[in-house]
Amino acid sequence: MPKKLLYLIAYLSFAASAAAGVPNDFDGDGISDRTWVEIESDKSLTWTAELSATRSNTGLGSLGEGGDAVTMAQWLSGGTQIGVASLNTESGEIEWSIRDSQGNVRTKSFGKTGDLVVSGGDFDGNGIADAAVVRLEQGKARWEIRHDLFASDSPAERSVVFGQSGDRVFYARAEGSSTNDWIGVVRKGARSRSLARMMDVTSGAVKQFARLPRFATEGARPRPYPIRQASGPDLIGFSVGSAGRTSVKVFSLQGAATASAVFNGSGTSVVGEFFQGSGFEILYESGEDAAIFNPADIDITESVGLGGIPVDEININTLGAVATAPPPSNGGGNGGGNSGGGSISQCSATRSWPGTHIYKTIGSTHFHPSDVRRNSIGVVLKPGASGPFPSCIDAVDREGNVVAKLGLYAQGSGWAARYYAGIGCGMRTPFNGSAVAARARANTGSSSIYINFAGSCVGPIDASRCVGSNQC
């Protein structure tokens, strides 16, 4: 049994059959294929899927580069296309690109610097993905939607003001009878609860759900993600990291706790129809271990990690930084909403580097030579340091590009928290300070970086120099 699995809590069982519109199904058997990306030495992204029908790996091609937002979705009829959204730094526009079934890359411009990219939603219910961006205008959230972005030469456009500064954006099906996703925001509610406001942009109908859990709007504020059911509205999932563990918590929109599973590590959660028959499942992957959690059957199927960064069709990420804000977390490939990045205004809080925080260009020399921490950057927080303490933090350059990820190694044992590249979510970026500085300079001409703690940003600091430590 993989060490990752700790325990499973079941609160309420329910029945559902397999839903239509299976995401990332590349072999057409009605089951989602586990899909991942790898960042190559030249920063390009290589895409691979394990076909469920044969359990064999197939290459999906190369598209995008590190720092881009993943936008894999069903953009055209007949299945899923790999995709990314990237920022054109010269024009300030966001460029959405997909690779079609003939291997051709199609690109469309939609959005601008600082926008929140919302990918994977189907807001008109026709089975084709719609693109959306969200931006703040005088404290209000404006949603710009392009229906059937790649399937139409003249996609229908819609502009809606819905939400405000500090809200967490998401989407889900809010009614069991609907076939379309509703746009949504989560904010603090009454009596230590969180509330969600949702809108059907096709009809203008608005609903409010006032009994979501308190943790949804406190601390790291995990972004909710939809878990499709064949009947009834979507369930809402949260992946919450703490003390080297990840809790996957599932709720109904009415706030009823449905199921929860706890795993070791600071891994990635993605959603898909990995087994037919009882709604969508959550795939959790951390290092060499993986498990598929079915909240309908209250069941966990153990598996193995396939490498790379798992991705799915639910992706919400910020591209670029506004002039008055420090760089955000891009969090490409966040799948189940682990993108960090705070509110839709990028960083919900900004401060200079605290005296309680230590930045190390390499790990301590007492680490064993085979320990990845020995030669990778680390951020160590002294006792008394203020949170949040998410399971994953980002090192970002001045333009908001993620130049390294650092996973939570541990809390306690004399420290508030310890983070290292090469650990957990940072397993693909085991870089030392010189490498991080070089990546930042290549992007911006400066070796300065910020550290983004789930929306609470600190910095800038020089990535090539230690801060608060002599052991470098």
Question: What span, in angstroms and rounded, lies between the C-alpha atoms of 438 and 366?
Answer: 26
The domain spans of the chain are 5-318, 349-462
This prediction has a pTM of 0.70
Pick the range with the lowest mean pLDDT from 32-36, 302-306, 329-333, 388-392.
329-333
Q: Do the beta carbons of residue 342 and residue 454 sit within 8 Å?
A: yes
Q: Do the beta carbons of residue 241 and residue 183 sit within 8 Å?
A: no
Q: Which of 254, 269, 239, 248 is nearest to 176 (CA)?
A: 254
How many CB atoms within 10 Å of residue 220?
Answer: 23
Helical residues (DSSP H) of 148-209, grouped into ranges: none
Q: How buried is 334 (Cβ within 10 angstroms: 0-12 exposed, 13-18 middle, 19+ buried)? A: buried
Question: What span, in angstroms and rounded, lies between the C-alpha atoms of 147 and 150?
Answer: 9
Residue 55 gets the label, from left (phi > 0), alpha (psi -120 to 50) or beta, of left
Question: What span, in angstroms and rounded, lies between the C-alpha atoms of 106 and 104?
Answer: 6
- Mean pLDDT, the chain, whole residue set: 84
pLDDT of residue 49: 96
65 pLDDT more than 60: yes
Class of domain 349-462: mainly beta
**Residue linked to tokens 């939607």:** 145
Residue 342, amino acid: G
> Backbone phi, then psi, for 374, in 5-degree steps?
-60, -35
Q: Is 262 helix (H, G, I), strand (E, B) or coil?
A: strand
Pair type for strands 456-462 and 349-351:
parallel
Q: Do the beta carbons of residue 357 and residue 385 sit within 8 Å?
A: yes
Domains 5-318 and 349-462 share a fold: no
Q: What is the pLDDT of residues 93-144, one digit of tens each?
A: 999 999 999 999 999 999 998 899 999 999 999 999 999 999 989 889 999 9
39 pLDDT more than 50: yes
pLDDT of residue 423: 86
Which residue spans within 89-205 are E strands per DSSP?
A: 93-99, 105-112, 116-119, 131-137, 140-146, 157-164, 168-172, 182-188, 194-199
5-318 CATH: 2.120.10.70
How many CB atoms within 10 Å of residue 6?
Answer: 12
Question: What span, in angstroms and rounded, lies between the C-alpha atoms of 174 and 172?
Answer: 6
The confidence band for 428, taking pLDDT boundaries of 50, 70 and 90, is confident
Q: How far from 54 is each of 120, 264, 311, CA to CA, in Å?
A: 26, 29, 20
6 pLDDT more than 70: no
Q: Which two tokens stand for residue 157?
A: 């456009």
